[in-house]
Amino acid sequence: MRYPAIFLDRDGTLNEEVGYINDLSRLRLLPRVAEALKLLKNYGFKLIVITNQSGPARGYFPEKLVFEANALLQKRLKRKGVTIDDFFVCLHHPEENCSCRKPKPGLILQALKKYPIDLKKSYLIGDKIIDIETAQNIGIKGILVLTGYGKGELKYVAPKKGIKPYFVAKDLKEAAEFIIKDYSKEK
């Protein structure tokens, strides 16, 4: 059986955008994130984080801190009654031209190798236009949230690049509610 998935950006989508999380004290969940994820999980979606984390490649902090931040995020969500199914991380420097750094679809392709995901019924949610480009590059619906960098990205980057999100939501909860309605129409 194939599952629909929600691919989620991390910083600015699930937790506050603070630049680089170079200390775990800087990781704070955004409001209504746990409720949004519960809605999606209860509807049968796999929840998969896909995130560019170039801080270690830039020499800003050790690689293990990225995974400690993911574990802390998972712990905080678990306390609120929901968990992420998996995390896929690109640790490369942007100039390395790897295949996994968004907007390339490499992280999603890694997830497809590991899980029986139905891409046609899947979505990607993020606060940057590169998240929407990633969705478009692999043929899924991309939703821009106005948390994190979202407002500025919608106002300045989207028109410059000519990129239109499938939907724009004020936050993850509104995105989840939209997805459930949209997905129900597709069934």
Does residue 11 have an active-site annotation? yes
Its sign, for the CA torsion 59, 61, 63, 69, is negative
Place of tokens 């712990």: 75
**Tokens standing for 27?**
């990781």
Residues contacting residue 62 through CB under 8 Å, at least 6 positions apart? 56
Does residue 9 have an active-site annotation? yes
User: String of b and e for 148-181 (b: at least 16 CB within 10 Å)?
Assistant: bbbeebbeeebeeeebebbbbbebbbbbbebbee
144, containing H or E segment: strand 141-145
Q: Which residues are catalytic?
A: 9, 11
